[in-house]
């Protein structure tokens, strides 16, 4: 280490030496050199200071300085060495009076013959030798470093980590995945008992799942629980522009792994190097394919129960080469999926360990509001909540901070500076309320959590709804309810304003996508249980390039017809629901115009009591204005809001929030309508 530091200092020493040489040269260049005749002519008129006379065999070398007024000027001169010249020089130089007119000069006489010739020669040669030697040494080190880098270019870039601190307790929301890797930990701790039983532990484990679900964290937890070294590398670190580099790095990585066995080798984003060979027009990538071939060979070269386990992660298992997934290589696949409500609660508890939460914060309720969030998203929600608390100089994170954090993660920060015209604001309010009405009144629907008309990102407003219970296999009724919910905003605009806007573009896109999947993939149409979509898609340019669709033109016409029928059926259903609940639509829309944001509790108060706040306990026996039914999921984003200043609303069709509380007892019907097309509301 010290030697490397000394080598790094050498360039600075050379620069210092060059500067000192330049300074000595500059000081020599400032000395005035007199010729013999000139010095003899001017010497008697000059006022000399300290001088030196060097008596040589043939000449006298005179050097020193003289005064030009008050300024000192260095000079040098040479005169023949005779007794007369020496006496004359002593007399002339001794007559100097200094700058103040007083005798201040000093004459020094030296004999160069008395000095050591070899010492003088050595003093003159040593600096030159040092300079040349330092230059040669520096260039030799630079060449050696370049050669070393050339050899290290083929070395593996895998990072070796020891003493991993991550444990299973730090990985939440994936209990089944932990069970799948427990025997790997057992094997790394005591491989002998597996060998005695004749069992073979999988050489490779492939973790598959959406981004942010914790695949890398789970792999580290396995290494931490087994207390073995952890090699981590990305698939893109193998591939370089030079052919053969990736294969060399693979060989070097497995060589190091065998030297440190037992250990875990983790390859992140393995699809960067493990893609199918020969895919694409004109062939594939030669360097990547050579790297993949070497990876396959090295995995086959690992003997059984040698203490090396390879864990890879990807979110694109469909593009991997089949040879990589065969038995004996990555023969065990672990799907790390998005967490459910219980898993989300556990993940929030893990990430909330170092957060200062207010007493009213309920992580379980927070998890209910985040369906579809990955572990990374949940960590981001808590982090955004902490940032908001710090921004407002609060000592603890409140539920309002976390509520705003969810909105920021999903849609981006609120654009409060963006202002609507009154007509645009009313249009957005009715659009979002239309989605909420479908969620409130449609059978098999979900819980309305929040409705807002505050712009966020590209959305003019949005409607957040969460399912009552998360389903692994949605039914046809669920898909139809979702499509109907997406169309609720467009229907509300048409019924209230007799006009439609471009704000429903994203709703139409999502509804059409679901309808196509129902017909082409799920067999939920009159065409029967036939899949007209292969589901793989063109992963690479050239893959199935020459193959056409697997159905005829007549079937394509029938598919388009069925998609149109599904959309039209859901559109008419949404129109019927909103027409039957027009009073509730106007009530929620008018309240939304005043409040800008309505929560689940406020919406249910409007449905039950006709006002935002619930009545006092003495009046709880009064009758609600509208019956409560089940709700459906819809998350809407209003992308574009046109200028609708000329749109007028018939005031006779609008109602205002009642000032008096409704009379009569409260009646909430527990059952739901059996007709999914036209649910009916019972009002008393």
Closest CA to 178 of 234, 230, 220, 211: 220
Question: Which one of 432, 493, 510, 562 is the catalytic residue?
Answer: 432
Query: Which ranges of 451-552 would DSSP assign to H, the alpha helix?
Result: 476-497, 505-520
Local structure of 113: helix, strand or coil: helix
Q: Is 610 annotated as a binding residue?
A: no
- Cα–Cα distance, 67 to 52 (Å, whole number): 15
Burial (0-12, 13-18, 19+ Cβ within 10 Å), 539: middle
Q: Is 431 annotated as a binding residue?
A: yes
- Cα–Cα distance, 430 to 364 (Å, whole number): 32
Token pair, residue 167, equals 């444990």
- Cα–Cα distance, 606 to 610 (Å, whole number): 4
Closest CA to 662 of 617, 621, 602: 621
Q: Is 322 annotated as a binding residue?
A: no
- Cα–Cα distance, 363 to 292 (Å, whole number): 45
Q: What is the rounded end-to-end Cα distance, in angstroms, of the chain?
A: 88
Q: Is 398 annotated as a binding residue?
A: no
Q: Is 291 annotated as a binding residue?
A: no
Residues present in the chain in total: 684
Angle at 461 between CA 384 and CA 478, to 5 degrees: 95
Distances (CA, A) of 475 to 371, 502, 509, 518: 18, 30, 20, 10
Tell me if residue 432 is catalytic: yes
10 Å Cβ neighbour count for 332?
17
Q: Is 548 annotated as a binding residue?
A: no
Instruction: Kindly give, in sequence order, each residue whose CB lies less than 8 Å from that of residue 417, ignoring residues fewer than 6 positions away.
Output: none
Instruction: Kindly give, in sequence order, each residue whose CB lies less than 8 Å from that of residue 408, ignoring residues fewer than 6 positions away.
Output: 384, 456
Q: What is the 3-state secondary structure (H, E, C) of 559-600?
A: HHHHHHHHHHHHHHHHHHHHHHCHHHHHHHHHHHHHHCEEEH
Dihedral, CA of residue 101, residue 104, residue 109 and residue 115, to nearest 10: -140
Q: Is 507 annotated as a binding residue?
A: yes
Cis peptide before 262 (omega within 30 of 0): yes
Query: Does residue 637 contact residue 458 with C-beta atoms inside 8 Å?
Result: yes
- Cα–Cα distance, 230 to 101 (Å, whole number): 85
- Cα–Cα distance, 24 to 21 (Å, whole number): 5
Q: Is 209 annotated as a binding residue?
A: yes
Ramachandran bin of 530, using left for φ above 0, alpha for ψ from -120 to 50, beta for the remaining angles:
beta
Q: Is 640 annotated as a binding residue?
A: no
Q: Is 210 annotated as a binding residue?
A: yes
Query: Does residue 567 contact residue 514 with C-beta atoms inside 8 Å?
Result: no
Distances (CA, A) of 430 to 156, 486, 494, 503, 550: 60, 14, 10, 12, 43
State which H helix or E strand residue 234 sits in: strand 230-234
- Cα–Cα distance, 492 to 588 (Å, whole number): 12
Q: Is 216 annotated as a binding residue?
A: yes
Closest CA to 225 of 184, 195, 258, 174: 184
Angle at 413 between CA 359 and CA 470, to 5 degrees: 60
451-468: b or e for each residue (b if 16 or more CB lie within 10 Å)? bbbbbbbebbbbbbbbbe
Query: Which ranges of 596-625 would DSSP assign to H, the alpha helix?
Result: 600-609
Token pair, residue 597, equals 């944001």
Annotated binding-site positions for ATP: 209-216
Annotated binding-site positions: 209-216, 431, 435, 507
Annotated binding-site positions for Zn(2+): 431, 435, 507
Q: Which residues are known to be catalytic?
A: 432
């Amino acid at each position: 280490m010290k030697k490397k530091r000394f080598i790094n200092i050498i360039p600075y020493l050379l620069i210092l030496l060059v500067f000192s040489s330049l300074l000595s040269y500059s000081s020599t260049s400032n000395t005035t050199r007199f010729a013999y005749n000139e010095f003899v002519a001017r010497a008697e008129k000059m006022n000399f200071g300290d001088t030196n006379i060097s008596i040589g065999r043939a000449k006298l070398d005179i050097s020193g300085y003289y005064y030009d007024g008050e300024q000192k000027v260095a000079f040098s001169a040479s005169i023949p060495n005779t007794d007369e010249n020496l006496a004359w020089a002593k007399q002339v130089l001794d007559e100097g009076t200094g700058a103040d007119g007083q005798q201040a000069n000093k004459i020094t006489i030296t004999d160069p013959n008395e000095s050591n010739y070899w010492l003088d020669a050595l003093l003159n040669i040593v600096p030159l030798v040092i300079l040349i030697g330092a230059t040669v040494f520096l260039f030799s080190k630079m060449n050696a470093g370049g050669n070393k880098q050339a050899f290290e270019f083929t070395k593996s870039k895998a990072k070796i980590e020891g003493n991993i601190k991550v444990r299973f307790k730090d990985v939440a929301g994936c209990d089944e995945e932990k069970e799948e890797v427990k025997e790997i930990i057992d094997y790394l701790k005591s491989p002998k008992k597996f060998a005695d039983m004749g069992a073979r532990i999988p050489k490779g484990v492939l973790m598959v799942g959406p981004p942010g679900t914790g695949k890398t964290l789970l792999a580290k937890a396995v290494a931490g629980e087994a207390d073995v070294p952890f090699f981590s590398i990305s698939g893109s670190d193998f591939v370089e522009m030079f052919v053969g580099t990736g294969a060399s790095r693979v060989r070097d990585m497995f060589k190091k792994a065998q030297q440190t066995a037992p250990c875990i080798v983790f390859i992140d984003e393995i699809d960067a190097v493990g893609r199918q060979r020969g895919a694409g027009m004109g062939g594939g990538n030669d360097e990547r394919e050579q790297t993949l071939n070497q990876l396959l060979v090295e995995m086959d070269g690992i003997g059984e129960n040698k203490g090396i386990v390879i864990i890879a992660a990807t979110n694109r298992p469909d593009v991997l080469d089949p040879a990589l997934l065969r038995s004996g290589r990555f023969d065990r696949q672990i799907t790390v999926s998005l967490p459910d409500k219980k898993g989300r609660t556990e993940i929030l508890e893990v990430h909330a360990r170092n957060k200062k939460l207010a007493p009213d914060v309920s992580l379980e309720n927070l998890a209910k509001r985040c369906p579809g969030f990955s572990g990374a998203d949940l960590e981001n929600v808590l982090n955004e909540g902490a940032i908001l608390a710090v921004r407002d100089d609060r000592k603890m994170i409140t539920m309002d901070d976390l509520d705003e954090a969810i909105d920021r993660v999903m849609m981006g920060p609120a654009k409060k500076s963006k202002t609507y015209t009154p007509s645009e604001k009313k249009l957005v309010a009715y659009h979002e309320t239309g989605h909420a009405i479908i969620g409130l009144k449609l059978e098999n629907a979900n819980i309305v959590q929040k409705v807002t008309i505050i712009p966020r990102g590209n959305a003019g407003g949005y409607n957040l709804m969460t399912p009552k219970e998360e389903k692994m296999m949605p039914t046809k009724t669920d898909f139809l309810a979702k499509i109907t919910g997406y169309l609720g905003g467009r229907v509300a605009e048409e019924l209230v304003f007799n006009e439609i806007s471009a704000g429903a573009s994203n709703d139409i896109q999502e509804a059409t996508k679901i309808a196509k999947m129902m017909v082409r993939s799920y067999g939920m149409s009159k065409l029967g249980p036939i899949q007209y979509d292969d589901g793989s898609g063109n992963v690479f340019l050239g893959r199935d390039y020459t193959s056409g669709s697997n159905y005829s033109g007549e079937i394509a016409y029938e598919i388009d017809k069925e998609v149109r029928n599904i959309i039209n059926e859901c559109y008419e259903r949404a129109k019927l629901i909103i027409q039957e609940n027009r009073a509730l639509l106007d009530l929620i829309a008018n309240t939304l115009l005043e409040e800008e944001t309505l929560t689940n509790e406020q919406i249910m108060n409007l449905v039950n009591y006709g006002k935002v706040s619930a009545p006092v306990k003495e009046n709880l026996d009064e009758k609600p204005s509208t019956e409560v039914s089940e709700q459906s999921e819809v998350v809407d984003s209003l992308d574009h809001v046109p200028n609708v200043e000329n749109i007028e609303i018939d005031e006779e069709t609008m109602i205002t929030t009642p000032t008096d509380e409704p009379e009569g007892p409260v009646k909430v019907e527990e059952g739901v309508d059996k007709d999914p097309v036209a649910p009916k509301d019972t009002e008393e």
